[in-house]
Amino acid sequence: MMTGKSDISGWLVRPAGRPLWAGLVVLLGALTVHTVRVTSDGGMDNAIVVDAARTWLAGGSPYDDPHFLYLPSAVPAAAPQALLPRPVLDVLVPPAVTAALALGWACALRLHRVPLHSRLAALGLLGLAAGFAPFGQLVRLGNWTVTAALALPLCLLLASRGRWVAAGAVVGVAVALKPLLAPMALLFLFARRWRALAVLLVVPSAASAAAALLLPDPAGFFTRTLPFLLRGDDAFVRLYEASPAAVLPRLGVPGVAAGLLALLAAAVGTGCAYRRWHGPGPVPLRLAETSAGLMLSAFLVSRPSYNHYLLVVLPLLLAGLPYAGSVARRPWFWLALVPQLPGVTWPWLESGRRRAFRDAFTLCALAVTVGRHRVRGAGDPDGPRGAPGEGRPAAEERRAVVESA
């Protein structure tokens, strides 16, 4: 990592002042309190899962609701919330989502060995909360995507320190709650971490099998949810999907052609991720950029695919800013985020139902930027190559930060 005084990284890794931290606390507090006042059941998306658990506790099938798109293991996981009064959920869920996003950001920083008291730590979270609209949307919705936003950086932090089995367990638990991180199995495949991959696969499989036995419709996920996802014909969901497979048909492209284009883009992105894993640069940077490539590739083809899914990968890339060869130093990384600035009204896209076009631009631009960055083999030329799973020694990191101060 470049931490010299002549480089922006030296300024970023130095301690942040108290006014900056105070401003961050005020901003997050205002966002959380506002959400508590306006949401019900902790948010619309959280209510879908909680209502599914309430249906199950009442003897019904959670898959009676076509918008419940989770594995069976999510049903008992949501049961504790289902037992709480709605006003309690209104108060508890928004702060929990905000705290999980902050913890995910902290794990992303530590993956890149950035001090938690640094300016980047404060400014990065401040920028995500104030300058990236999906952050506030995720808090207001209470969507369980937040579990993946925390689990992925935690997984990579463990992997960077050689604890791959624990990393696999973290992803497995996250998949059991919401199968968003399923593409991360490819990272373990790239790294040839077979035991960790087995743990990743066994944890959600066993949890879902056990939970399915408790449901009145054990095969509901396969007989109802999967066909719903494959058809992608829900009029409400389609309006907010950001994947090219959903957006291009709204522009007149035949659905089959749009699906094939999205699938091709996802395949190319996966190939770029494989190349990045075996490319140059420090291990934390390779872990972050490979994982971001895999997840963005999946978002290009998955149905549904929402803008708040980007919070799973964006903190990982942003936290790598101190590295001279990171994708966060590419101009298109920042230009891709411009459509997500809060409060900006875009001509012909004023309607909330047309937001998907802006979201699709951000998703595609980020995917292309990360893919092109990997193909060019970008990385910190001065950083240690290392073997997969080996991180930079902590003592060396501390010396670099101290010497730059």
Helices 145-160 and 283-301 meet at what angle, rounded to 10?
A: 150
Helix axis angle, 255-277 relative to 355-375, nearest 10°?
40
Tens digit of pLDDT for each residue in 196-250?
999 999 999 999 999 999 999 888 888 888 887 776 556 667 778 888 988 998 8
Cβ contact 142:44 at 8 Å:
yes
Per-residue pLDDT tens digits for 145-162? 999 999 999 999 999 999
**Are 353 and 145 within 8 A, CB to CB?**
no
Q: 319: closest CA among 153, 184, 198?
A: 153
Q: Is residue 255 predicted with pLDDT exceeding 90? A: no
Helix axes 164-177, 145-160, angle to 10 degrees: 170
- Burial degree of 363 (CB within 10 A; 0-12, 13-18, 19+): buried
On the 0-12 / 13-18 / 19+ scale of CB atoms within 10 A, 293 is buried
Distance CA 5, CA 353 (A): 47
User: 328: pLDDT confidence band, cut at 50, 70 and 90?
Assistant: very high
Return the pLDDT at 323: 86
For residues 188 and 391, give the distance between their C-alpha atoms in angstroms, rounded to a whole number.
16
Residue 391 banded pLDDT, cuts 50, 70, 90:
very low
Please indicate whether residue 345 or residue 233 has the higher confidence score (pLDDT). 345
Cis omega (within 30 of 0) for bond into 304: yes
Q: pLDDT class for 400, splitting at 50, 70, 90?
A: very low
Closest alpha carbon to 101 in 69, 127, 67: 127
| Sign of the dihedral defined by the CA atoms of residues 169, 384, 128, 134, in that order | negative
Closest CA to 157 of 170, 175, 172, 144: 170
Contact present, 188 and 197 (Cβ < 8 Å): yes
Given a cut of 80, whether residue 390 has pLDDT beyond it is no
Structure-block tokens of residue 310: 């980007």
Q: Do 111 and 153 contact (CB within 8 A), yes or no?
A: yes
| pLDDT band with cut points at 50, 70 and 90 for residue 353 | confident
- At residue 238, the pLDDT reads 74
CA–CA separation, 309 vs 26, rounded Å?
A: 25
User: Taking all residues of the chain, what is their mean pLDDT, rounded to a whole number?
Assistant: 87
Burial of residue 223 (CB within 10 Å: 0-12, 13-18, 19+) is exposed
pLDDT of res. 228:
77
pLDDT at 356: 86
CA pair distance 308, 296, nearest whole angstrom:
12
CB 356 within 8 Å of CB 246: yes
Q: How many CB atoms lie within 10 A of CB 33?
A: 13
CA separation (Å) from 126 to 20, 24, 121, 315?
9, 6, 9, 12
Q: How far apart are the first and last CA of the chain?
A: 14
Could you give the C-alpha distances from 122 to 5, 40, 204, 399, in angstroms and in order? 20, 30, 34, 22
- φ and ψ of 118, to 5 deg: -80, 170
pLDDT at residue 386 above 70? no
Mean pLDDT value of segment 342-354: 79
pLDDT at residue 3, rounded to an integer: 45
- Whether the predicted pLDDT of 355 surpasses 90: no
Percent of the chain surpassing pLDDT 70: 88
Give the DSSP letter string of 54-74: HHHHTTS-GGGSTT--S-TTH
The count of other CB atoms within 10 Å of the CB of residue 108 is: 29
Per-residue confidence (pLDDT) for residue 161, from 0 to 100:
95
Crossing angle of helices 133-141 and 18-38, in 10° steps, is 40
Question: 4 versus 349: which is more confidently predicted?
Answer: 349
3-state class (DSSP) for residue 108: helix
* Residue 244 half-sphere exposure toward CB, CA atoms < 13 A: 22
pLDDT above 50: residue 36: yes
Would you state the pLDDT for residue 53?
Answer: 94
